[in-house]
Structure 1
Amino acid sequence: MEGVMKNHAAGGKITGTHTTVIDHATELVVFLSENILVEKIVLGAITGHTCQGLGNLRVKIVSESCCALLVVTQKGAVQDIRVYPKHGTMQDMKLAIARYIRNERIELGFRRFRNTSQN
């Protein structure tokens, strides 16, 4: 795959200004970039999280209107990865992602929509 090194990814299906990937999520990004159902991948910034956890990688798949949002958490870091499907393949793409995550024994969760409460 073009442009994937440890903790960095760029080129090919990967777009956006952020190229750093959470430690153990690099293999997930490689899988996404090689998947024929994926049109585009947008890596979000890595932010801090109050709970340090055990260091295990966790992925939550959140449905958005035009993409699947993968909320990737490891140790005290959180990264949003938006994955855009080829036209008409959203459900198949999400199923392929979920199967990959499960087969890799990564903790997996689902949420229908992201909480966006504003005061």
Structure 2
Amino acid sequence: GGAAMFMAASICVFVILGSVLEGIPAIVLFGPLMFPIARQMGIHDVHYAMVVILSMGVGLFAPPFGVGYYSACAVSRIHPDEGMKPILGYIAALMVGLIIVAGVPWISTGFLH
């Protein structure tokens, strides 16, 4: 599938990991496995790191497992079912941003040169 398919699979994996794990354990567990593969695929390290961080951020607030979602519901004192409709627009905006950053490497690496 090449670099694009690897990037899409990585996004899916890190969204799921971000919803069930905190960010640091996910990076510690899967970073040493995924970053060398990304490098071999020709993906810049900074670009891949930004995609991984954004993916885990989407997972953090993605229901039904997102720890950040339930924390936000607890802080705002609403039932998680009530917050489901408003969070969908937020998740959609995060996914659009993630796809743009993943598809346009210049956004993450353009100012490095």
Q: Same fold (TM over 0.5)?
A: no
* Higher helix proportion (structure 1 or 2): 2
* Higher strand proportion (structure 1 or 2): 1
Larger radius of gyration: 2
Highest RCO, 1 vs 2 (Cα 8 Å, sep ≥ 6):
2
TM-score (norm 2): 0.26
